[in-house]
Amino acid sequence: MSTPSEIYSPGLEGVIAGETGVSTTTGGLRYRGYPAVELAEKSTFDEVAHLLLHGELPTRTQLADFNKRLATAQKLPSVLSDLLKKLPKDAVPMDVLRTGVSILAHYDPELNDSSRAANLRKAERLLAQIPLIIAEYYRATKSLPVVAPKPELGFAANQMYMVSGKAPSAADAKAFDVSLILYAEHEFNASTFTARVVCSTESDLHASITAAIGALKGRLHGGANEKVMDLLLSTGGPDKAEAWIRSAIARKEKVMGFGHRVYKTGDVRARILKDYAKQAAERAGTTKWETAAETIEKVLETEKNLFPNLDWPAGRLYHAMGLEVPLYTPFFVASRVTGWSAHVIEQLENNRIIRPRSRYTGPEEKHVMDIGTRG
């Protein structure tokens, strides 16, 4: 039985579970005070990564030093590289990435040092190493050799280069870079909260990030971007999109890429990335899927008051750039590790173990009977 003082909010909706100076969605998404719109327009992911980890946008010298540290850390233990070649080629890439980060913990010399300085160094190493795990496993599934990183390309272009073996066009690199900026941080989302819960027990950064990857895998969180093209392809094209979505609504199906716990009138990140998805489709000759997407958006807004979230244009953008679907959520990880790490560091600076209560719905008090009398 609940008491009058208990307040239950399913999914913790609307509950303030902590304080953060990393980002806010109030009054528009901002990272450490900077509007995400401005960061997407005027900075690179490399700069935003520095902002999230170190608290401020870098000077030219600071950015050069930051990129130099990342370049130095761009290597994997040989044990991990060998394992990536031996894992089943049909393994789920998010599971591979989760395992990879866990293995990296065994080789990090500062694993058990949870000071701010050590956690920053570990976060930078993970930022450098995660793209290598993504690329090395992807190429292993294709029986292709590993492509050595080219740090001079910049974080986004280098990730694409290591996956495909060729440097992306300037337009594709910019679009991918913007997507990483928009994926980098988002307050107390499920995976970030998971990371904070784990580190609140005084566990280590790698354990927190491993747990966060597990949370992000789910289709109601990061995995939604992988379902976008499946949805669009199932419509049969722009001429059939309206009938398809109306039928889906009638069947009360959940449409991946729409709706958000925080944004009730639309996700500003989706509006930013939509233009890049459209331009990428024009370059690739896949504009029919943008037309189908537009139809679905209009119907859902009119009929259900539902608006796209970031995953809706991101899935289309990555498809137009020729990136394979199993890579989409790992790319999210490559970006969001910056936000996760910033939150872990912040949690530990003023830590209290996160341990909420539950509302009991089981039977009333019972008493144990002798085994011979139980019927």
- DSSP-based three-state secondary structure for 45: helix
| Residue 311, domain CATH | 1.10.230.10
- Tell me: do 46 and 161 sit in the same domain: yes
368 found inside a domain: no
Lowest mean pLDDT: which of 189-193, 240-244, 276-280, 371-375?
A: 371-375
CA–CA dist 127, 316 (Å, integer)? 25
Residue 4 clears pLDDT 60, i.e. is over it: no
- The number of domains in the chain is 2
| Residue 203, domain CATH | 1.10.580.10
Do you know the residue count of the chain? 375
Residue 74 clears pLDDT 70, i.e. is over it: yes
62 found inside a domain: yes
Strand partners, 24: 30
Per-residue pLDDT reduced to its tens digit, 184-240: 999 999 999 999 999 999 999 999 999 999 999 998 888 888 889 889 999 999 999
Q: How confident is the model at residue 1 (pLDDT cuts 50, 70, 90)?
A: very low
The answer to whether 191 and 216 are in contact (CB under 8 A) is yes
Question: What residues make up the domain containing 123?
Answer: 23-218+325-349
pLDDT value at residue 7: 84
- Tell me: do 184 and 312 sit in the same domain: no
Residue 266: Cβ-neighbour burial (10 angstroms; 0-12, 13-18, 19+): middle
Q: Which residues of 302-335 are buried (b: 16+ CB within 10 A; e: fewer)?
A: eeeebbbbbbbbbbbbbbbbebebbbbbbbbbbb
- Tell me: do 81 and 202 sit in the same domain: yes
Whether pTM exceeds 0.85: yes
CA–CA dist 359, 165 (Å, integer)? 53
- Known catalytic residues are 221, 260, 311
Residue 263 clears pLDDT 80, i.e. is over it: no
Instruction: Report the percent of the chain where pLDDT is more than 70.
Output: 98
- Tell me: do 207 and 287 sit in the same domain: no
